[in-house]
Structure 1
């Protein structure tokens, strides 16, 4: 499966244009896409998700394969990207994580970038998105980048702005330099390739994206991981965080037992009860009763609970001691 976790969305985007973009992404081979809504920090106390919801793609076999390719819409997720400059502006990230499927951070300063890599909770944020077409106010050093990858965060490389017709030569040069710097800092690990497309003309096929990034040092196998394995890990982890127990165990319904299993269970319980009853009967009669009578007439007779009462360990010890004493007396005489 192929993923594009950044398709630009705003309240001014029309429904027809959005559906056209989604259908074109499906024709290019993308199975899961995310509509991205960008906000500036600090976030409001009440966070609502304005991105429209789309039903999951239908799997009916009545329509032909060509009609499905032309009309189907991929699985659509809803994402929030937060622009922030101060780490103290991130108090509302847990609420944002509840309202959106994916939450990404876009740091604007070096202090914010260090916080995003080292201190921001990985349970609330899954992506670090950078505007690679602009000159970054900080350097992409290996130590914080690899620390973020080790914590489970992923760096997003969005190519849409660099390929847009309005992009100038300086923006494209900045994009190339920043991509080379990011690939060196992360060694090609923990990257997610996305389009950040505002329309269908900014989308590119997976092979074109891999070849484009290979020019700037990203190997082809790492490029395919950035389109499939890495974004899939982001989507699955975010789903488990929201539907599972403490982000570790996914809670699912327990399957009901069949009638045969229920009958076998009842029969097993009856068998266990019968075995227990037989043991109680054996302990209550026979040799135990005789020993209980002897103990009642001997040293521990005062502690017996009745003729058929089972002998306790204390009574057995006293009985053995009395028998030994009796044997010693007989030998002495």
Structure 2
């Protein structure tokens, strides 16, 4: 079993960006990962200029650059139960930030630009785009940015439609590393999505009703004071973003049951990158079993549609 991070941000090839990318790859190898994907993000109208031009790093040069790298890689792979001989793979990924229906129409199997990448993801910024991504867009991954207020509603029927088509949902964890308040709120709300709600709107009406708080939160003494404060707020305008964002995450985890879910770092620097077991432990706080949490950074990332012939090694 290998571990993957399918979201290592890729910027233009300036020297500083190349140095950052090199540090991230070295760190990923040291932590025991067996594969990463360089993620290029574009916004607006797609053009021929957006064809993949990402070059892989030469692993032999990395080993020469960091003499102790081989020892660290072997140590972590032994701890993770990953065979030492497992090759380290580098993939390419394009994430299209789509704001409207016309942009989502470009996400089809006949688009020559998309064919130059190993992975294609869409980041919806509109309800129609999200619905299209779940129903018909030819993408591998639906990337949802939980560090900002979502501009659309998650719908269980749409999530299920995406799963049936073999599309995966991505949750990134670097915002949880950087934002302490988001992390605390996620933990305190860890049982809120277990009531079988059909939409975020349904859960909103229950979660922010003080009469229902004790059964949802599961820890009355620790959270009672905070919820009394929330009970005085007018939903949704005055409710802190971190509360509603963690609810969306929990609903997505609950509806997918971890089946079509991947966890990635989207780490801008090595400070936000974590080892596979740390990521699995963090994922388990969202309600996943440890087995499902590990699958979200291993087995789910090896889905056959991801492993295209032109992947870079």
Q: TM (normalized to structure 1)?
A: 0.63
Number of the residue aligned with 1:114: 131
Number of the residue aligned with 1:254: none
**How big is each residue's C-alpha offset from its partner over 1:24-45, in whole Å with a ceiling of 9 and x where there is no partner?**
1111111100111110132114
Q: Cα gap change, 1:84/1:99 in structure 2, threshold over 3 Å: closer, same or farther?
A: same
Runs of 5+ in structure 2 lacking a partner? Answer: 75-86, 186-239
**How big is each residue's C-alpha offset from its partner over 1:49-75, in whole Å with a ceiling of 9 and x where there is no partner?**
2433224669x9xxxx95414589942
Q: Cα gap change, 1:208/1:108 in structure 2, threshold over 3 Å: closer, same or farther?
A: same
The correspondence for 2:290, drawn from 195, 198, 220, is 220
Q: Secondary structure at the match of 1:227?
A: coil
Q: Secondary structure at the match of 1:95?
A: coil
Number of the residue aligned with 1:4: 5
Aligned-residue RMSD, C-alpha: 3.0
Number of the residue aligned with 1:76: 90
Q: Secondary structure at the match of 2:153?
A: coil
**How big is each residue's C-alpha offset from its partner over 1:207-262, in whole Å with a ceiling of 9 and x where there is no partner?**
221221222212211111111111111xx32334769xxxxxxxxxxxxxxxxxxx
Number of the residue aligned with 2:302: 232
Asked whether the 8 Å contact 2:51–2:114 carries over to 1, the reply is no
Measure, in 1, the Cα distance between the counterparts of 2:151 and 2:17: 35
Asked whether the 8 Å contact 1:34–1:76 carries over to 2, the reply is yes
| Deviating 4+ runs (over 3 angstroms) | 55-58, 69-74, 90-93, 165-175, 238-243
Measure, in 2, the Cα distance between the counterparts of 1:206 and 1:101: 22
Q: Is 1:207 aligned with 2:284?
A: no
Q: Secondary structure at the match of 2:30?
A: helix
Q: Cα gap change, 1:67/1:83 in structure 2, threshold over 3 Å: closer, same or farther?
A: closer
Q: Is 1:100 aligned with 2:113?
A: no
CA-CA distance at 1:132 after TM superposition: 0.9
Number of the residue aligned with 1:37: 40
Q: Cα gap change, 1:56/1:153 in structure 2, threshold over 3 Å: closer, same or farther?
A: farther
Measure, in 2, the Cα distance between the counterparts of 1:69 and 1:51: 28
Q: Secondary structure at the match of 1:197?
A: coil
Q: TM (normalized to structure 2)?
A: 0.67
Asked whether the 8 Å contact 2:159–2:256 carries over to 1, the reply is yes
Alignment of 1:25-174 (within 5 A): 25-55=28-58, 67-70=69-72, 74-93=88-107, 94-121=111-138, 125-164=139-178, 172-174=242-244
Asked whether the 8 Å contact 2:105–2:137 carries over to 1, the reply is no
Larger Rg: 1
Q: Secondary structure at the match of 2:6?
A: strand
Runs of 5+ in structure 1 lacking a partner? Answer: 244-333
Measure, in 1, the Cα distance between the counterparts of 2:243 and 2:48: 39
Asked whether the 8 Å contact 1:8–1:197 carries over to 2, the reply is yes
Q: How many positions carry a matched residue from both structures?
A: 235
The correspondence for 1:179, drawn from 230, 234, 249, is 249
